[in-house]
Chains A and B, each alone.
Chain A
């Protein structure tokens, strides 16, 4: 059974810092991995999707990497801004069975 872990659970940084969020999973036979952000009381916004055959994806200041063999993904956020404050969720898809991590709550202080 796939288990997804995200570290750290919470992170607070000053504005402008670069930061890395970590996600690990136990079953490397994944279909894809998706990073989301969730604002308080809101739904999930898709940030990046990495297919199992890919090693990274980039969108603006975000870069996500995937190392299937070691069961790890990282989300790199460059030049963080207060508007980046949210909970970031990693989700792993094993053929229509999507498992989420518990999330990393990010606070970017002005």
Chain B
């Protein structure tokens, strides 16, 4: 019955690799988001996406790309991973853009 789920929960990988994090929501929401929480626990939005529009935070490197195979999924692809990418990544969704957001449990990414 998990509303917003992410896989994997933990991801440990080497610098330079390409990896993906999956996100699924079963709430029937139209908008999904990706956030990054750094080592200081500060949360920053990376992307918001619905079937019409992708909004990218200008500080996000283009090595990060969201991919949405359907309305219930928004996966995060990361190319050429760097040490500074180590963080916890949260997926979220809302019924409409600007609505109440519901978060997934997070994926802890460690780049060695």
Using CB atoms and an 8 Å cutoff, list the residues of chain A in contact with chain B: 31-32, 34, 36, 42-46, 49, 87, 89, 91, 93, 95-100, 102-103
Q: Which residues of A contact B98 (CB under 8 A)?
A: 31-32, 93, 95-96
Q: Which residue of chain A has the shortest Cβ distance to B53 in the bound complex? A: A96
Q: How many Å from the CB of B100 to the closest CB on chain A? A: 4
89-112 of chain B: CB within 8 A of chain A: 90, 92, 97-106
Complex CA–CA separation, A87 to B101 (angstroms): 17
Closest chain-A Cβ to B87's Cβ sits at a distance in Å of 14
Evaluate contact between B106 and A49: CB separation under 8 angstroms. Answer: no
B45 pairs with A43, CB closer than 8 A: no
**What chain B residues lie within 8 Å of A34 (beta carbons)?**
100-101
Find A46's partner among B40, B43, B48, B102 (CB 8 Å cutoff).
B102
**Bound complex: CA of A97 vs CA of B106, how far in Å?**
20
